[in-house]
Homo-oligomer: A and B are copies of this chain.
């Protein structure tokens, strides 16, 4: 039967919100957020979101009112009871009670703080300024909003039939990639596309496809909402944000140099096990490894993000060996520009 309610509602659609849940962010934000909230909640910080691809003049593509409507909508959100229960009660990386009850209580009243939106030379400059614990959470929501708005506008010129073909083609393409990955059952991979996604529903489709088809090779998703909704593993530990802020807080070159280690020393006071993953490339990987404290090589593993991955992998293996650690007992993760063929190359080179 005609669903009149939906049809009439659609006539009067005011907003199709991109962020509909505060869980719709990368899981590592919660680990870092708790860390910040416990230790550095009031540190004053300023984050800016800028578009590095200058040829794409985002401010000429996305109307400012549309961007503001999405950002403003995200600010209306609070965590739902079932989301907080999940964060508090779920097992992450096999461990319960990762999040302290006090942090969960803090989240209960959490809302995103205000933002500043300016236009400079055809680009948006989106700035979040305030207490670190307040503004840090904006990162992924803001990135996902900008990314999804851009793709929505790109889709706007296509008619229903062209859209149908486009999604059919894209599903086929993704499926071929998944099939290719399936030939390497020892590979382990996670989905972490939230920040540059086409859209939440598309990210959900792709993640679901990977989970359905890849079996144990699919270890989870960085997206906490998808993990919650589908009982996937939530994946991620920490990012460049932590050493970057620590670096900014340094008041001498000497402190700046040790900031990248100080933050990890603090991290291991809060977390352990699988959450002890080093991201060594914030200020360059080679200097990081050379001067790293002895405990760094005891951590569970390392995530190679910006350096050419084969060189980075070899460098890390040599470093572990030099530090008297068996590299085969360490976890190596790659997370930069991973197209399927590169994933297979890295897997074949570094497996075992």
Contacts and interface: CB of A to CB of B under 8 A. Distances in A.
Interface of A: 1, 3, 5-6, 161, 164-165, 167-169, 171-172, 175, 208-209, 212
22 contacts: A1-B3, A1-B5, A1-B6, A3-B3, A161-B208, A161-B209, A161-B212, A164-B171, A165-B171, A165-B172, A165-B175, A165-B209, A167-B168, A168-B168, A168-B169, A168-B171, A168-B172, A168-B175, A169-B171, A169-B172, A169-B175, A172-B172
Contacts of A1: 3, 5-6
Give the secondary structure class of A's interface.
helix
A6 to B, nearest CB: 6
Nearest to A173: B172
Can you tell how many copies of this chain the complex includes? Answer: 2
Contacts of A164: 171
Contacts of A212: 161
- Most interface-central of A161, A165, A208 (chain B CB within 10 A): A165
Contacts of A209: 161, 165
A93 to B, nearest CB: 27
Contacts of A171: 164-165, 168-169
A3 to B, nearest CB: 5
Nearest to A1: B5
